Structure 1
Amino acid sequence: MLILGPMLTITQALYDQIVAHAREDHPDEACGVVAGPVGAGRPERFIPMLNAARSPTFYEFDSQDLLKLYREMDDRDEEPVVIYHSHTATEAYPSRTDVAYAGEPGAHYVLVSTADTDGAGEFQFRSFRIVEGEITEEEVKIVEAY
């Protein structure tokens, strides 16, 4: 059962950057992080990552890139507020693998579906909380600025 829970508030600029990254990497899955100040729950810094798997059905952060990112966020008093990736052939809903790899209980997990798009078509942009295997979809509110 899908429960509509809290809300992700994100700027139009960040929303556009995530969607653009998903479209650019299509037909492979795109992935990345939006960092924000620790404890603020406010996504601010867009960090596109390389999909080390280079796959249309799976994404994987490069372990060295991820270690570097976490050290950098720690130095800047940031945390991952949004962890995003795209689905290239299915709807924007967490797969079993996505749920298994969801290790940040405080993060918003954003999925963008680029299925059946040519860069100009419709796409899905959805946000979820994934805590201990439980998926909760949340509303996405797009603002011009915080």
Structure 2
Amino acid sequence: MLKISRTLYDQIVEHSREDHPDEACGVVAGPVGEGRPERFIPMLNAARSPTFYEFDSTDLLKLYREMDDRDEEPVIIYHSHTATEAYPSRTDISYANEPGAHYVLVSTADTDDAGPFQFRSFRIVDGTVTEEEVEVTA
């Protein structure tokens, strides 16, 4: 189960809405080994595409160095789908290389400023996708 604060949840949704019609992407880091999402890190979609996202390699290297310096790891890796449901695509599955992370997808396919949207979380390990419950905390 993914336990996420209302603040982080809202930040992910807001970033997804702001970048629409392009896919948004980012990371939520937390203390190593604790599985607790704490620090919201929106990233630039280097692909600038409504159907694909890609972290800029320089930004990603900088992020991982920063997380190492802070004794953090990626707890959530998120991105949005702008025209399809919030479910990992084959490309998403092939790029999932953090077995301990929660992969959050937000669909903005049928959204406007007021909603609705889908917010779903998955574990992706060795190509196997498992959806998990999301609990939003205060």
Distance 1:56 1:22 in 2: 11
Q: What residue in structure 2 maps to residue 122 of structure 1?
A: 116
Identical amino acids, percent of aligned pairs:
85
Q: Which runs of 4+ in 1 moved over 6 A?
A: none
RMSD of aligned residue pairs (Cα, Å): 0.4
TM-score for the superposition, normalised by structure 1: 0.94
Give the match for residue 36 of structure 1.
30
Structure 2 residues without counterparts, runs of 5 or longer: none
| 1:46 pairs with one of 40, 49, 53 | 40
**How far apart in 2 are the matches of 1:119 and 1:73?**
33
Partner of 1:3: none
* Equivalence for 2:72: 78
Unaligned runs of 5+ in 1: 1-6
Distance 1:41 1:127 in 2: 14
Amino acid at match of 1:143: T
Matched residues, number = 138
TM-score norm. by structure 2 comes to 0.99
Task: Name the structure, 1 or 2, with higher relative contact order (CA <8 Å, separation 6+).
Answer: 1
